[in-house]
């Protein structure tokens, strides 16, 4: 089989590379010539564990290629995946200009039956727009070439995207066409050897599934964050409460870890987009509106604790920050809580020295010289008035507290991810602040 994947961002690159791994010939397409040149020279623009190995292997085998020529990439292809970006426009809704631009380009160039698969996360109803855009282009050409559209949302987590793609919990495919179903089933069968299902459904339900999944997950996080804040007020420990509720299988123990709020490229954008879709249909998704509001508030919780601890006097103080990425195993800082905390610290006249195991370049790109960058976690805390832990990288989990107490100016830790043991830190004489926990 042969496919074309348009868009060499995070989703396109992971999908294309993983599909090549099954023996399919994959052409990855992008309009960004520099990016394609890099990819042709062995440079992957994103950090994703495991990706480099299978990228190299499949390029060597001649199954994976990179090009700016969309027209050539769909010659002899069985399917073309649209995996370009859908950035939020000013009002928060997803901007479809890239998705529809690709649809038009396909319509202009195709010469045989194709399944056109939307892989980007797009608002409910987009596949229909893709179809219309293609029909218009074909009509302009006076051609009547058959094609089908399908929606195939991705559920990849950054940091484990390759594994998620190779061993999916489920594959969701929305299409009304039998012919398209056959092509998609063939493509995905090798990934379902673990017995997990391929779920065929109508297009709108498939598009909706992606938003509902991410919204449900975001809801779990905002819920536990809200509960954590109340735990502090009433004197409970959210870590006990989390374990207590998580053992009920209906609730489950995953994704109920309180923290500094969710970030990343998906949850904030998708929650907003679904709220907007509902609003446009005069329906108010009140639960999700609260989820979003709680998340905004949660990103400030750690700063507020710190502000209170220093009686509002942060001028001239220096704070160490461990972790900048929105979560571990990625260098992605989109909507990262660290950015909100840094902004507030700088506003209050404090300075920040940060260390993140992989997001340092990304941080410099975004923040420039607004903050300083340390070469490791211990250098970051030298003479710091307190340590603020924002991302729960595993290397921060068991630091040498004896060394830390010598380096820090004050033995104070603000832990936004509840990774330390309050009792241990109290014994070591640290002042410890966490999220929703009994720390004194
Ligand atoms: C998410 C979805 O998990 C994935 O299925 C979808 O395709 C894209 O969006 P991702 O954004 O990579 O993936 O990150 P994820 O691991 O889900 O974490 C999202 C955010 O929630 C992070 O900021 C994380 O720190 C936070 N989180 C997660 C919590 O605060 N508590 C939890 O218990 C779990």
Global ipTM:
0.91
pLDDT value at residue 439: 81
221 lines ligand 1 (CB under 6 A): yes
pLDDT value at residue 89: 78
Q: Give the pLDDT band of residue 430 (cuts 50, 70, 90).
A: very high
Q: How far apart are CA 90 and CA 95, in angstroms?
A: 9
What's the rounded mean pLDDT across residues 254-272?
95
Residue nearest ligand 1's atom 3 by CA: 157
217 lines ligand 1 (CB under 6 A): yes
Strand pairing class (318-322; 64-67): unpaired
pLDDT value at residue 94: 80
Fold of 299-433: Rossmann fold (3.40.50)
CA-only gyration radius of the chain, Å: 24
CB atoms within 10 A of CB 50: 16
Between the CA of 384 and the centroid of ligand 1 the distance, in Å, is: 30
Q: How far apart are CA 150 and CA 201, in angstroms?
A: 10
Between the CA of 262 and the centroid of ligand 1 the distance, in Å, is: 7
Q: Give the pLDDT band of residue 336 (cuts 50, 70, 90).
A: very high
Q: How many residues does the chain have?
A: 440
CB-CB contact of 28 with 13 (8 Å): yes
For residue 105, the surrounding DSSP H or E stretch is helix 97-109
Give the mutation target among 267, 271, 416 for probing the ligand 1 site: most ligand atoms within 8 A of CB: 267
99 lines ligand 1 (CB under 6 A): no
CB-CB contact of 168 with 196 (8 Å): yes
Give the mutation target among 259, 336, 337, 419 for probing the ligand 1 site: most ligand atoms within 8 A of CB: 259
CA 143 to chain centre: 40
Non-local (6+) Cβ contacts of 7 within 8 A are 29, 30, 82, 83, 84, 85, 98, 102, 120
Label residues 114-125 b or e (16+ Cβ within 10 Å = b): bbbbbbbbbbbe
| Tokens linked to 6 | 């348009």
Question: Which CATH architecture fits 211-297?
Answer: Orthogonal Bundle (1.10)
DSSP 371-394: SEE-SSHHHHTTT-SEEEE-S--G
Which atom number of ligand 1 is nearest to the Cα of residue 330?
A: 12
pLDDT value at residue 91: 75
Residue nearest ligand 1's atom 10 by CA: 157
Please tell me if the domain spanning 211-297 has the same topology as the one spanning 299-433: no
Question: Which CATH architecture fits 2-201?
Answer: 3-Layer(aba) Sandwich (3.40)
Which atom number of ligand 1 is nearest to the Cα of residue 265?
A: 11
What's the rounded mean pLDDT across residues 237-258?
97
What's the rounded mean pLDDT across residues 239-243?
97
pLDDT value at residue 384: 98
340-371 tens-digit pLDDT:
999 999 999 999 999 999 999 999 999 999 99
- Could you state, in order of their start, the residue ranges of all structural domains in the chain? 2-201, 211-297, 299-433
Catalytic-labelled residue, pool 18, 28, 231, 266: 266
Between the CA of 249 and the centroid of ligand 1 the distance, in Å, is: 20
Four-residue CA torsion sign, 88, 117, 205, 200: negative
Residue nearest ligand 1's atom 1 by CA: 157
Q: Give the pLDDT band of residue 71 (cuts 50, 70, 90).
A: very high
- Known catalytic membership, residue 231: no
Q: Is 281 helix (H, G, I), strand (E, B) or coil?
A: coil
pLDDT value at residue 440: 67
Least confidently predicted of 46-50, 86-90, 129-133: 86-90
Residue nearest ligand 1's atom 23 by CA: 262
pLDDT value at residue 127: 95
158 lines ligand 1 (CB under 6 A): yes
Between the CA of 64 and the centroid of ligand 1 the distance, in Å, is: 29
CB atoms within 10 A of CB 68: 14
| Tokens linked to 304 | 């507020």
């Amino acid at each position: 089989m042969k496919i074309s994947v348009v868009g060499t961002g995070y989703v396109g690159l992971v999908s294309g590379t993983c599909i090549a791994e099954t023996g399919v010939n994959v052409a990855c397409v992008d309009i960004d010539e520099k990016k394609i040149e890099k990819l042709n020279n062995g440079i992957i623009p994103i950090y994703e564990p495991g990706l480099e190995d299978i990228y190299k292997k499949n390029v060597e085998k001649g199954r994976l290629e990179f090009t700016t020529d969309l027209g050539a990439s769909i010659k002899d292809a069985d399917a073309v995946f649209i995996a370009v970006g859908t950035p939020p426009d000013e009002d928060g809704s997803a901007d479809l200009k890239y998705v529809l631009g690709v649809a038009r380009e396909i319509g202009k160039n195709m010469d045989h039956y194709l399944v056109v698969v939307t892989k980007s996360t797009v608002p409910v109803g987009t596949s229909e727009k893709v179809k219309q855009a293609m029909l218009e282009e074909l009509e302009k050409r006076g051609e009547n070439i058959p094609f089908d559209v399908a929606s195939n949302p991705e559920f990849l987590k950054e940091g484990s995207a390759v594994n998620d793609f190779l061993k999916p919990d489920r594959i969701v495919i929305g299409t009304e066409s039998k012919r398209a179903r056959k092509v998609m089933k063939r493509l995905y069968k090798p990934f379902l050897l673990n017995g997990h299902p391929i779920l065929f459904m109508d297009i709108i339900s498939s598009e909706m599934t992606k938003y509902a999944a991410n919204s449900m997950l975001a809801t779990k996080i905002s819920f536990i964050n809200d509960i954590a804040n109340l735990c502090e007020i009433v004197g409970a420990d959210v870590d006990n409460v989390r374990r207590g509720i998580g053992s009920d299988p209906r609730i489950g123990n995953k994704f109920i870890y309180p923290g500094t709020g969710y970030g990343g490229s998906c949850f904030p954008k998708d929650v907003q987009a679904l709220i907007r879709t509902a609003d446009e249909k005069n329906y108010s998704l009140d639960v999700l509106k609260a989820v979003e509001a709680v998340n905004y508030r949660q990103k400030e919780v750690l700063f507020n604790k710190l502000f209170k601890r220093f009686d509002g006097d942060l001028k001239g103080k220096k704070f160490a920050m461990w972790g900048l990425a929105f979560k571990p195993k990625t260098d992605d800082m989109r909507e990262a809580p660290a950015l909100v905390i840094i902004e507030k610290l700088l506003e209050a006249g404090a300075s920040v020295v940060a260390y993140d195991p992989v997001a340092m370049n990304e941080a410099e790109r975004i923040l420039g010289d607004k903050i300083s960058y340390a070469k490791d976690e211990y250098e970051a805390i030298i003479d710091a008035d307190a340590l603020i832990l924002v991302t729960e990288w595993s290397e921060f989990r068991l630091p040498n507290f004896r060394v830390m107490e010598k380096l820090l100016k004050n033995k104070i830790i603000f832990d936004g991810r509840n990774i330390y043991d309050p009792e241990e830190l109290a014994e070591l004489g640290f002042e410890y602040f966490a999220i929703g926990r009994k720390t004194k």
